Each structure stands twice: as structure tokens, then as C-alpha cells.
Structure 1
Amino acid sequence: MTESMPPPLPSPRRVAPEAGRPRLAALDGLRFLAAMAVLAYHYVAVNHSAWGAPTDESFPHLQPVVAFGSFGVQLFFVISGFVILMSAWGRNVTSFTASRVGRLFPAYWFSVAAVVALLVLVAPGRKDVGVAETAANLTMVQRAFGVQDIEPVYWTLWTELRFYVLIGLLLAIGMTRNRLVAFAAVWPVLAAIAVRTDSELWSTLLVGSDAPLFAGGMMLYLLTKERRSLVLWLVLGLNVALAGVVSGRSQSLRIANSTDVTIGPETYWAAILACFALVALVSLTRIDRLSWKWLTLVGALTYPLYLLHSSWGQWLIAQWYPHLPAWATFTLVTAAVLGVAYLVHRFVERPLGPRLRRAVAHDLERTSRYLGRKPQEVRDARAPEPEPVSTR
């Protein structure tokens, strides 16, 4: 009996707009777990003085375990490769750009304001932050100007933005299934070469050690449409291997620099494999059918929680821990930042995100139409309106 062909990817022109795109509730839940793992890492594993003593002394048995929460970032990147491709497919550059701006910036601007308020008004002297540094951070591309992040967790946003630029370039030349597969096979290899040869420019442009995480996530999305495609599985395997070599090693160095924990190749390889396996589990099995609304809600809290938990959370720990046991402090601080994340989602992201997306889309479309005009049409558009003729 002849095997039936796998279902083709949907035609870009037939993909519904953002409001009608399917949402994988289980993937939202996985994003939330990744955020909570990173939160625990920053509170219990990273060396800081919020607990009144070195972290390894405050949590001597927990630090080596919770340190693996750092790999929540790698899990984020695999999920991002999956979700961003799902979001970009069928869009043009204008629509994709407007979607990303509307999604990222409202909560991010609130986060910058909250961190500045902490550093200037609530806990002055903790870290110097000036007007120029704040203004640069509001752009989200401060690292391109050589300006440091005022909040340490912002480094991942710079990584995400560079990935978005590459997706935008793919959309500009025409995003097809075969081009995506070729891109996901070649791009991470070039990025790995740039990392191994210490080429800072090319490593920056190609998203460095994190490229195979995004590319692997993209292949997992394509596999939801073509689960029997050998080529897709091979490209996924290539990216898993590259991620273990370059991204796993890179993250192990970050952990060693931030904690007193050292992990070997076998351990960080296992962590990288787990990141891909978890995304595959929730997207390629029956778990993808879950439709619990609470998963969608906690998924919506992930981004503001990630942005706001670090500096403010450590400050709250320092205020409450002298009066409460460690576990009670950890629980209450986590509940507090979750509550703030909900308020930011409800009163910042939900009202402002769609408005910002529509405004950006409108301006980009108008600019695109203007640039597409012939020279004479541009001169005519610039010409002032003639004065009305008086009838008196």
C-alpha cells in the first residue's frame, strides 16, 4: 500500500490574521515553567547579597539544583523559534514588524521605568543610571550602541531582536518551506563558525551560540505539518547537536560566572536535549490538544514576569528576609512579582499593545506606499495645496 503524502504547509495567502491563529495552550504553560525556572535561578542560585549572606551559604544544597533553571533561557529560545515562525508565516514584513513592536514594547517600557524608579527613588546608590543610559535602554537595542543593560535580563531581548531581523529578511525575499529548511541548515553552522573563530561582528549578526536553538524551534514547527519528513528531522538533529556544542557550553560558562556551580559537557548536553524534548512533547503529541484557559493566562504573564522579577524581586527579598523564613520570603516575593505581572498584562499590554501594533502598521504601510511612488508622484505629494480662489 502506498503511503499518503504528508499534508503540505498552508499557503501564506490563506493564513488567517493574528486573531485567528491557533494558540497552543501547552506551549504557553511551558513558557511559564521556563520563566519560573529562571526566576528561581536568579533568586536562589545566582550569587547576590539579598539574603544577607552568599547564596551558596544560604541555600547550600539547593544552589546546584536550581542552577539548572538558567537553561530556561535556552528553552525560551527554542519556543521562540517555533512561535515566531508560526506568527510570521503568511505575513509581510510590515505586518510582522508591527506585531513584534506591539507585543514587546509596552511591557518593556514599563519595565525600564520600574527599574529606573527602583535605582533612583527606592534604592539610590545600588547602581548608577543616567538619562542617556535610560534613553538608550528604551530603544531595546542599547547593546548595539555599546550601552549596558540597566536590567541584566535584557540581554535575551537583544538576542531575540537579532533573530527577528533574520526572519524579517526571509519575509522580504519570500518565505517558503524550502528556503526555511535551507536557512535552518546553513545559518546555525555559519553562526557556530563565527563563535569558534571569535568573529565578534559575524557572531552578533548571526545570533551567535543561540542560533541553533531558534532554528531547531523552527524545524519543530514545520514538523507539526510534516511529521514524516526525513529532511526536517535531520535538520532538527543538526541543530540539536550544534546547540549542545555551542549554546550548552556558553550557558555553562554563564552559570559558572554567576554561581559557584560548575557543570560538565554531559550535563549541559542533557539540559539542551531536555529543552528540545519538552517543546517536541507539547507540540508533536496529543498534549498539543490541551485547551485549558489557565494555561493561556499564565503564558500571557510570562513576558512581564521575566522583565520585572530580577531587580525588584531581589530588593523585596532583602526587605522581607530579616523578618520571615527563607521559604516564606521566596514564596511571597514570587507571588508579588506574579501579581505585578498580571497587572502589567491587564492594564499595560492588553490596552496598549493592539494600539501600538495598529499605529506602527499604519505608518509602515504609508511609508511603503510613499517609497513605491514614481519620482513625479513624490514631487506632487510634497507640493503644497493651492490656495482656494476667493469668491468675493
Structure 2
Amino acid sequence: MKNVVPRQHQLLEGIQYLRGIAAMMVVFHHARHEFGGAMSITFGGRGVEIFFVISGLVMMYSTRGGQLATGSSFRERLAEAMLFWKRRIARVVPLYWIALFISAPLAYRTALSDPVLLQDALFIPHWNHVHPDQIWPTLVPGWSLNYEMFFYFLFGFALLLGRFSILFVSTALLSLCLLNSVAEGQSAAFHFYTAPVMLHFLAGILLYYVVEYLRQWSAWQPPRWSMLLLLLAGFVALAILPQRMGDSALLLSSSLIVFSAVFLFDGVKLPLLRLLGDASYAIYLFHVLALMMVTQALASTGLGATTPWEVMAHFAIYLAVSGIVGVLAHLAVEKPMTAHALSFIRRAPPMVPATRR
């Protein structure tokens, strides 16, 4: 009998493809700095906001819309919350620590004895020593993981509240962002956790209800070409509108991209893009080292980038090497290490399989 892939996993297949695209956007954004930072295109940096929307959506699917423990006793809800946190930690923390403690001395000239690395390892936001106006960890891309881990903590805590879980998460995210406009604070934590960027997690949560409504109640099957146009429109809007209209345009554009990707790639098999999606976390964490390696290699050859074609060739090399390094790190380190870590986490029945980050 032919195996039938559950509809939910087909929908999330598109999300995995989008992860790969978003990771390469970030690589492109940081590769600009290898040319002295002269390029003014900041579009690639918006890949992080796409990741945040995806996180909100995937967490909803992995917990049955936040209702995983509804109807259970408090003890059972506590066990579910603990299991949720353990799985998030197993997927996120080990590889980040490896990337952090390798990159700190090699790419950022930070001694492993520097106390700031302890803050970074514990996901505590702080003002960056080199860029004092930015709340960045030593491994700069790790700033997004500080948000991710906070969101996971919030979401796991909400599971204790049963059917009120999503109401709690939504209210907490909205309240924190509103706090920024009605109060003033000097600490890094205040500025960090009241930033509007956290609304992207909420957008992902709300997107879950939109997708499920269209999927279950309306039997909506949009033409694939319409979703492709919508996806392209989302990327164009992401490149143009945020600089003119601010955070609201960024939020809407990112949400539109994730929404269209869900239906565009539904049932589509793209092995290379799937591999990039699976390796997106490793690509994101190790691309700084990959860019540094490529820059040193190109410098040793004396090959400059003075013409547009040479610049394009350099960018192609940066993107290719970063992708390859990330895929190798995923296959050789992340995948076996995460599987080993998750094998120690027992799951109490009856529960659904957790969705990959």
C-alpha cells in the first residue's frame, strides 16, 4: 500500500524550503561586509524576521495550536511544558555553543575566558563591546536566538494554562511591545524584550489560524501560480517597504512570504532546497566563519572584485561555500548530535511528534 504523507507535513515542507532561502538571505547580507560594507542593500537581513514568523507557525503546529495539554491535570501540563523546553534546548543549544566557542576566538578575537561568553551561552542580552549601540552577543547572529529562546520559554510556560495558552502568549507579546512606547528603560534587557520585532512570533501564531481555516473549512486550493506571484510580491515588498513604512510593513511582508510559501510548495519535492532548509540552522551559525575563510583565501590569491562581474563571482563563492560548510556541519555534527540528545528525552503518551525547528 502506498504511504500517504500527512497533510500537515506537506504544508510544513514548504516552511523547510523557506528556511533555506531565509538562511541564504542572511549569508548574502553579511557577505556585503566583505566588500567593506559599501553596499547599501540590506534586504538579506530580513531573513531573520521570516525565521521568527516561521517559529510562531511551527510551534503552533507542533503543539496542536497550543492545546496539547488541554483537559489534562496540572501535573500533566507541567510534564508537557518540561518536555517542550527539553526538546527546544536539545535542538538549539548544543550547536549554538559549538559555533559560539569556535567563532569567538577565530572570528571575533574574544578569549574563551572572557565572562561575556557566559552571558552569550545563557542567552542573556547585553550591549556589544565592539558595537556599543547594539544588543548583540559575541557571535553576532546569535541575537536572534536570544529572541527564539525567550519565545520558547514563553510558549512552554503557556502550556501550563491549558486552553488559555495562546491568549497568554499573544497578550504577553503585545504587552511587551506596547511597554516600549509607554515606558523608558536603560537596560539591554528592556530594550531587547520590548522591541517590535517580537510581533513576528505573534504573526506566525495568527497565521496558523488562517492556514488551518483555509485548509479545513474552505477546502481552499489556490492555483500554484497565484502563490508564486504572492511570494514574489512579498519579497519585493520586503525589499522596498520596510525602509519607507517601518515595522508594520516588515511584519506584513514577512507574514505574506510565509503564508504564500506554505501553499506554493505544498506537495512539491525539491531535494536541494530541502537540504538547505534542514541545514539552515547550521548555515546561520557557521556562515561567519565560512565568510572569513573565503575572504582570506581570495586575498591570498590576489583576486580582487573591482568590476560588477567580479563582485557577482565573489558573492557566488561566498554563498556556495557558506552553504556547503553549513550542510557539512548539519550532516556531520548537528544531525547526529541532536538525534543523540533527543534519545535521552522520554515522551509521555499520548503526544504528537514534535515538528523540527
TM-score of the aligned structures, taking structure 1 as reference length: 0.65
Following superposition, the deviation at residue 338 of structure 1 comes to 1.3
**CA apart distance, 1:229:** 11
SS of equivalent to 1:128? coil
Paired residue for 2:270, among 287, 292, 299?
A: 292
Give the match for residue 104 of structure 1. Answer: 92
Q: Closer, same or farther in 2 for the Cα pair 1:291/1:183, shift >3 Å?
A: farther
Counterpart of 2:212 in 1: which secondary structure?
A: coil
Please tell me whether Structure 1 or Structure 2 has the larger radius of gyration of its CA atoms: 1
Tell me, what secondary structure is at the counterpart of 2:111?
coil
- Which residue in 1 is equivalent to 2:198? 211
Q: 1:192 to 1:207 in 2, by over 3 A?
A: closer
Indicate whether 1:118 and 2:106 are aligned: yes
Q: What is the alpha-carbon root mean square deviation over aligned residues?
A: 3.6
**Closer, same or farther: CA 298–228 of 1 in aligned 2, 3 Å:** closer
Opposite residue 81 of structure 1, the aligned amino acid is: G
Q: What is the alpha-carbon distance in structure 2 between the residues aligned to residue 187 and residue 78 of structure 1?
A: 16
Conservation of the 8 A alpha-carbon contact between 1:98 and 1:358 = no
SS in structure 2 at match of 1:150:
coil
1:355 is matched with which residue? 340
- 1:323 match: 303
Structure 1 unmatched runs, 5+: 1-18, 57-62, 120-125, 231-251, 256-260, 366-392
The 3-state SS of whatever aligns with 2:332 is helix
Indicate whether 1:87 and 2:72 are aligned: no
CA contact (8 A) 1:25 1:292 kept: no
- The corresponding residue for 2:74 is none
Alignment of structure 1 residues 32-111 onto 2, 5 Å: 32-44=20-32, 48=33, 50-51=34-35, 54-56=36-38, 63-64=39-40, 66-89=41-64, 90=68, 92-111=80-99
Amino acid at match of 1:305: I
For the residues of structure 2 that align with 1:207 and 1:296, how far apart are their CA atoms?
Answer: 34
Greater alpha carbon shift after TM alignment, 311-320 vs 143-152: 143-152
- When residues 190 and 203 of structure 1 are mapped into structure 2, their CA distance, relative to the original with a 3 A threshold, is farther
Q: Residue 115 of structure 2 aligns to a residue in which SS?
A: helix
Whether the 8 Å CA contact 1:81–1:213 is kept in 2: the answer is yes
**Percentage of identical aligned residues:** 21
Alignment deviations for residues 64-103 of structure 1 (CA, whole Å, 9 cap, x no partner):
3x31222111111111111122223337112211211221
Aligned to 1:220: 207
> CA offset at residue 105 of structure 1?
2.2
Offset of 1:112 from its aligned partner? 1.7
Aligned counterpart for 1:272 among listed residues 231, 251, 258: 251
Contact 1:301–1:341, Cα closer than 8 Å, also in 2? yes
Match runs of 1:371-386 below 5 Å: none
Aligned partner of 2:18 in structure 1 is 30
Label 1:140 to 1:338 Cα distance change in 2 as closer, same or farther (>3 A). farther
Contact kept? 1:184, 1:219, Cα under 8 Å: no
What one-letter code is carried by the residue in structure 2 that aligns with 1:79? I
Report the CA distance between 1:111 and its aligned residue: 0.8
Residue 187 of structure 1, CA deviation: 2.9
1:117-196 correspondence to structure 2 within 5 Å: 117-119=105-107, 127-133=109-115, 135-136=117-118, 139-143=121-125, 149-174=137-162, 176=163, 179-180=165-166, 182-183=167-168, 185-196=170-181
Cα separation, partners in 2 of 1:289 and 1:171, compared to 1, 3 Å: same
- SS of aligned partner of 1:79: helix
Residue 266 of structure 1, CA deviation: 2.6
Of the three residues 333, 338, 342, the one matched with 2:323 is: 338
For each residue in 1:233-292, what CA deviation from the matched residue of structure 2 results, as whole angstroms up to 9, or x when unmatched? xxxxxxxxxxxxxxxxxxx9xx9xxxxx99744366444322111111122x35433243
Do the aligned partners of residues 333 and 133 (structure 1) sit closer, same or farther apart at CA in structure 2, a change above 3 Å counting?
A: farther
Q: Is the 8 A contact 1:308 1:341 kept in 2?
A: yes
CA distance in 2, matches of 1:264, 1:116: 32
User: What SS does the aligned partner of 2:213 have?
Assistant: coil
Q: Distance in 2 between matches of 1:67 and 1:87?
A: 32
Give, in whole Å, the separation in 1 of the partners of 2:242 and 2:169. 28
Letter in 2 for 1:226: Y
Paired AA for residue 224 in structure 1: V
Aligned residues: 294
Counterpart CA distance in 2 for 1:264 and 1:337 is: 27
Q: How far 1:132 moved relative to its partner?
A: 3.8
Supply the distance in 2 between the matched residues of 1:313 and 1:153 (Cα, whole angstroms).
13
Paired with 1:205 and 1:88, the residues of 2 have a C-alpha distance of: 27
